[in-house]
Structure 1
Amino acid sequence: MSDVENMSFEDAIKELEKVVGQLERGDVALDESIALYERGAALKARCEAKLKEAEEKVAKITLGEGGSPVGTASLDG
């Protein structure tokens, strides 16, 4: 599942949707369902990590006069 660690958010969400679809159909063997579930959990974690990254970047943006972005600030203060 190391490939998941290098996926973009868009690729991970697309793959997660595919996994969920397969699990919802219910036409896979138990062993395959378990493997799909584990992959889905890894994909979900990747999506959450990428979203958190994006939120932190947005939170760092500082605005200057007139509301224009002028740079970033530390999340700590």
Structure 2
Amino acid sequence: MPDNRENLTYEEASQRLETIVQRLEQEELSLEEALNLFEEAIRLANYCRQKLSAAEQRLSLLLEKENGALVLEPLSLPEEQEG
């Protein structure tokens, strides 16, 4: 994949990553082609992780307190609440 990840949406990068995984699992590939796909998959996974991290930082819950004041609090994701 050309290094134009900054033009990809999270969904596009995730779909490309899924396609690569399917190819690696289902196709007989040369060692070189498999390594190239694996490298691309690692780059895409890192890109997706960065996008998710940035989105998580932007998310906030707006909670109304008893006195009517509005307060921004960081969003707690379900997996964070379980642990």
> Do these two structures clear the TM 0.5 threshold for a shared fold by scoring above it?
yes
The unaligned stretches of length 5 or more in structure 1 are none
When residues 7 and 72 of structure 1 are mapped into structure 2, their CA distance, relative to the original with a 3 A threshold, is: farther
Count of aligned positions: 68
How far off is 1:12 after superposition?
0.3
When residues 62 and 14 of structure 1 are mapped into structure 2, their CA distance, relative to the original with a 3 A threshold, is: closer
- Find out whether 1:57 has 2:52 as its counterpart: no
Task: Specify which structure has the higher proportion of helix.
Answer: 1
Structure 2 counterparts to residues 1-77 of structure 1, below 5 A: 1-58=2-59, 61=60, 63=62, 65=64
- TM-score between both structures, scaled by the size of structure 1: 0.74
Q: Identity, % of aligned pairs?
A: 31
* Whole-angstrom CA distance in 2 between matches of 1:9 and 1:65: 31
How far off is 1:7 after superposition?
1.3
How far off is 1:64 after superposition?
5.3
**TM superposition outliers: structure 1 runs of 4+ over 2 Å:** 61-66, 70-73
Structure number with greater Rg is: 2
Query: Over aligned residues, Cα RMSD in angstroms?
Result: 2.1
* Whole-angstrom CA distance in 2 between matches of 1:71 and 1:6: 34
